């Protein structure tokens, strides 16, 4: 009897949660949400399945999800396996021709198709892409010293909108193409920010391996404005790997994204908690 009572309480709690989610489901109906899935946030096969289930659920309730992924740890592993040594300038990897071939192989092949397969296994209709497809992401060299490291100069949002209209879920590897046909490696956060801005997305979710942006006392700041981000960087509170993420957020907001959230992609159902609950998850960043 006690076991049955506990089960009944669980089902009641589940029903209550669904009921409380109604205004948020209505709020995001028809909206575009770009999700950056980082290499570290991918975690285990179980974590990937949970993420894929959340993405499919988002689409089922009327959201148009667009997934942009990284894959740094997988690239490093393959480079080591092939014995390709990397040179670094100012802490950034120089991407020569041999390295670029491995980056494209890993991101557009291994990593991209793993995500596509996971989403489709949950009943979704994912399609794997890179920035080369339909000239989705035209790039220029970010810094000549870094070789084939690119920054987006033009994104083709109509292509992605056509996929959404056909109920496909785009899964995008951050590989761009230059005007001269060059292949460029693009930082995953940078690519996600550029794509979100081109789509004028309602939300850009940057999934990482930390809980969010931390303030002076070490606690996660649940909501920030753009000017606060700038002051925290100037004061050294935001430092290290969080700087490029918050800078991506600022550029996305300036490009027309309604809000950016930096959140822990390892947490179960992180995207659903952020979108469909009052509490949310991580750090929500808005324009001033």
Q: What total number of domains does the chain contain?
A: 2
Full-model pTM? 0.91
Indicate whether 219 belongs to any domain.
yes
CATH number of the domain enclosing 252: 3.40.1160.10
Contact 34, 192 (CB under 8 A): yes
Asked if residue 25 lies in contact with residue 276, where contact means CB atoms within 8 angstroms, the answer is yes
Residue 33 bridge partners (DSSP): 65, 203
Q: What is the mean pLDDT of the chain?
A: 90
Identify the domain boundary among 143, 162, 186: 186
**Cα-Cα end-to-end distance for the chain:** 55
pLDDT at 246: 93
Same domain, 175 and 231: no
Question: 40 with 182, same domain?
Answer: yes
Looking at the fold, whether 106 and 223 belong to one and the same domain comes out as no
Residues 148 and 208 in one domain: no
Answer positive or negative: Cα dihedral of 224, 227, 228, 230: positive
Asked whether the CA dihedral 10, 208, 214, 221 is positive or negative, the reply is: negative
Cα gap 229→187, rounded to integer Å = 21
Give me the domain span that covers residue 286. 200-288
The rounded distance, in Å, linking the Cα atoms of 117 and 115 is: 5
Q: Are 170 and 100 in the same domain?
A: yes
- Inside any domain, residue 21: no
Domain-located, residue 110: yes
The pLDDT assigned to 64 comes to 97
**149 and 181 share one domain:** yes
User: Which segments of the chain have a pLDDT < 70?
Assistant: 1-15, 17-18, 39-41, 43, 91
Could you read off the pLDDT of 61-85 as tens digits, one per residue?
Answer: 999 999 999 998 899 999 999 999 8
Q: Provide the pLDDT for residue 216.
A: 87
């Amino acid at each position: 009897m006690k076991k049955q009572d506990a089960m009944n309480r669980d089902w009641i709690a589940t029903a209550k949660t669904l009921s409380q989610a109604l205004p948020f489901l209505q709020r995001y109906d028809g909206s575009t949400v770009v999700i950056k899935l980082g290499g570290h946030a991918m975690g285990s096969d179980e974590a990937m399945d949970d993420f894929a289930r959340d993405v499919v659920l988002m689409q089922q309730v009327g959201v148009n999800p667009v997934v942009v992924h990284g894959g740094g740890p997988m690239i490093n592993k393959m480079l080591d396996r092939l014995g390709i040594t990397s040179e670094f300038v100012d802490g950034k990897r120089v991407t020569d021709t041999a390295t670029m071939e491995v980056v494209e192989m890993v991101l557009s092949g291994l990593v991209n198709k793993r995500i596509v397969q996971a989403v489709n296994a949950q009943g979704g209709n994912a399609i794997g892409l890179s920035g080369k497809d339909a000239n989705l992401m035209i790039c220029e060299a970010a810094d000549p010293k870094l070789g084939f490291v690119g920054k987006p100069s033009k994104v083709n949002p109509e292509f992605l909108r056509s996929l959404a209209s056909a109920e496909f879920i785009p899964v995008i590897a951050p590989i761009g193409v230059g005007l001269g046909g060059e292949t460029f490696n693009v930082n995953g956060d940078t690519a996600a920010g550029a794509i979100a801005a081109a789509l004028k997305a309602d939300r850009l979710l940057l999934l990482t391996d930390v809980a969010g942006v931390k303030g002076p006392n070490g606690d996660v700041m649940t909501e920030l404005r753009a000017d606060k981000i700038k002051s925290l960087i100037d004061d050294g509170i935001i430092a290290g790997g969080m700087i490029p993420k918050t800078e991506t957020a600022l550029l996305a907001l300036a490009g027309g994204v309604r809000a950016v959230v930096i959140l822990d992609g390892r947490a179960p159902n992180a995207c659903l908690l952020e979108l469909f609950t009052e509490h949310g998850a991580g750090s929500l960043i808005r324009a001033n």
